[in-house]
Amino acid sequence: MLKATFKKYSLQFKLPSGTSRGILKTKETYFLILKDKGKIGIGECGLFRGLSIDDRPDYEEKLQWVCSNIDLGEQELYDVLVEFPSIQIGLETAFKSLVAENPFEVFPSEFSSGEQSIPINGLVWMGNQDFMKQQISEKLTQGFSCIKMKIGAIDFKTEIELLKSIRKEYSTSDIELRVDANGAFSPSEALEKLKYLSDLQLHSIEQPIRQGQWQEMARLCEDTPLPIALDEELIGIFSEEKKEEMLNTINPQYIILKPSLVGGFRGSDSWISIAKKKGVDWWITSALESNIGLNAIAQYTFTKKSTLPQGLGTGSLFINNIPSPLEVFNGTLHYNTNLKWNFEMMNIE
């Protein structure tokens, strides 16, 4: 008989990590565990406080309801959970894990067999100039050719100087630079700031202004000298009609999919299908999940065959992540089949 339980887990950052929303020291997440006839399935519900649309007081109550009604089956539960995208992906992953030959191989491919890897960007967290320079140096040593920098937390002039110093040392053929403003610019100043940034030959900027300002973002995308990628803009848009309306209105150069925030794999498939019709390119980004969620998202990402570097985390930010076969090798995410999963620390009976 199919049984479901959930477990809360608090991920501890090795170093406090700066974003435009403040400093992160811990990140809570939830594991959904299914058991049936001696088999186990596990999925991660990667709630992101302050960002997820399902950051609600009744979150654990909803998870308990899912566990009590697991016999409704994956599809029916998924449809009911439309306002809980992080539970949707946990549900999708747990059911795939339950029926898989290997519970951690939810999208079997040349990636999960260790034969191929996924090019990813190296993420540089916000901080003072020396700290950011040190991170950039480390990423280059690790073989990254695409670096993404969070901007918008320290003053803009300092950030421009830092980017200039990188460009002085490394040309566009050495490094592709992406920046993520997390909505830090005001609509009145955004275009001028984008002009400064475009002089530095950047690949793109994510979410220059706060989400929900469709007309202002549309004007920016029309006039921008630098390609704009929508990120937070996608959060909380559930219906196909609304997705089409948003993309038709704003007409961005790129969209960025965080499966834990946009309805899991089905939700991501829906966005990709609509974006393709409009000629809008995309890439996929993790959202500080543990290695359980990152593994599922990475395996899914590989099946989509994008040629762009993806924004997949490396699992190395946390002291107490679940030991896994995921490794970063020469600027790519790799699945090392010689390494084993170890979830003793999760205390799953």
Do residues 264 and 239 make contact, with C-beta atoms less than 8 angstroms apart? no
pLDDT for residue 50 is more than 60: yes
Residue 347: the pLDDT is 66
Q: Which two tokens stand for residue 234?
A: 């996608």
209-238 pLDDT, tens digit per residue, is: 999 999 999 999 999 999 999 999 999 999
pLDDT for residue 29 is more than 60: yes
Q: Are residues 143 and 277 in the same domain?
A: yes
pLDDT grade, residue 349 (50/70/90)?
Answer: low
Neighbours of 186 (CB within 10 A): 13
Q: Are residues 89 and 138 in the same domain?
A: no
Provide the percentage of residues in the chain whose pLDDT is more than 70.
96
**108 assigned to some structural domain:** no
Residue 217: the pLDDT is 98
Measured CA to CA, the distance from residue 54 to residue 236 in angstroms comes to: 9
What is the DSSP secondary structure assignment for residue 234, as one 8-state letter? G
pLDDT for residue 38 is more than 70: yes
**105 assigned to some structural domain:** no
| Mean confidence (pLDDT) of the chain | 93
Residue 269, judged by CB atoms within 10 A of its CB (0-12, 13-18, 19+), counts as middle
107-126 pLDDT, tens digit per residue, is: 999 999 999 999 999 988 77
**173 assigned to some structural domain:** yes
Judge whether 258 counts as a catalytic residue.
yes
Do residues 82 and 108 make contact, with C-beta atoms less than 8 angstroms apart? no
Q: Are residues 13 and 156 in the same domain?
A: no
3 state SS of 264: helix
**107 assigned to some structural domain:** no
Measured CA to CA, the distance from residue 297 to residue 223 in angstroms comes to: 34
From 99, 131, 157, give the residue that closes a domain. Answer: 99
pLDDT for residue 343 is more than 80: no
- Higher pLDDT pick, 282 / 137: 282
Residue 128: the pLDDT is 75
pLDDT for residue 16 is more than 80: no
In the predicted model, what is the mean pLDDT of residues 35-58? 95
Beta bridge partners of 205: 179, 228
Q: Are residues 237 and 139 in the same domain?
A: yes
Neighbours of 40 (CB within 10 A): 13
In the predicted model, what is the mean pLDDT of residues 273-281? 97
Residue 167: the pLDDT is 87
Beta strands per DSSP E along the chain? 3-19, 22-36, 39-45, 118-119, 122-124, 146-150, 176-180, 204-206, 228-230, 254-257, 281-284, 326-329, 332-335
In the predicted model, what is the mean pLDDT of residues 38-50? 95
Q: Are residues 239 and 338 in the same domain?
A: yes
Q: Which of 96, 148, 193, 258 is catalytic?
A: 258
3 state SS of 185: strand
Q: Are residues 174 and 315 in the same domain?
A: yes
Torsion angle of the four alpha carbons 326, 331, 332, 335, in this order, in degrees rounded to the nearest 10: -30
**111 assigned to some structural domain:** no
Q: Are residues 19 and 128 in the same domain?
A: no
In the predicted model, what is the mean pLDDT of residues 244-273? 98
* Strand (E) or helix (H) holding 189: helix 187-198
In the predicted model, what is the mean pLDDT of residues 44-67? 96
From 71, 99, 127, give the residue that closes a domain. Answer: 99
Neighbours of 279 (CB within 10 A): 8
In the predicted model, what is the mean pLDDT of residues 329-337? 95
pTM (predicted TM-score): 0.94
Residue 20: the pLDDT is 55
Measured CA to CA, the distance from residue 108 to residue 25 in angstroms comes to: 34
Judge whether 39 counts as a catalytic residue.
no
Residue 64: the pLDDT is 98
Q: Are residues 66 and 210 in the same domain?
A: no
> What does residue 271 show for φ and ψ, rounded to 5 degrees?
-60, -40
Q: Are residues 168 and 287 in the same domain?
A: yes
From 36, 69, 99, give the residue that closes a domain. Answer: 99
pLDDT for residue 88 is more than 70: yes
Residue 130: the pLDDT is 82
pLDDT grade, residue 151 (50/70/90)?
Answer: confident
Do residues 59 and 47 make contact, with C-beta atoms less than 8 angstroms apart? yes
Q: Which of 27, 96, 139, 150 is catalytic?
A: 150
Single-letter residue type at 209: I
pLDDT grade, residue 346 (50/70/90)?
Answer: low
Q: Are residues 285 and 338 in the same domain?
A: yes
Q: How many structural domains compose the chain?
A: 2
- Higher pLDDT pick, 166 / 333: 333
**77 assigned to some structural domain:** yes
Q: Are residues 141 and 78 in the same domain?
A: no
CATH of the domain at 33: 3.30.390.10
Q: Structural domain of residue 35, as residue ranges? A: 3-99
**315 assigned to some structural domain:** yes
Residue 124: the pLDDT is 84
Q: Are residues 187 and 230 in the same domain?
A: yes
Rg (CA), the chain: 20
**106 assigned to some structural domain:** no
Strand bridging mode 332-335 / 254-257? unpaired
CATH of the domain at 206: 3.20.20.120
Provide the percentage of residues in the chain whose pLDDT is more than 90.
77
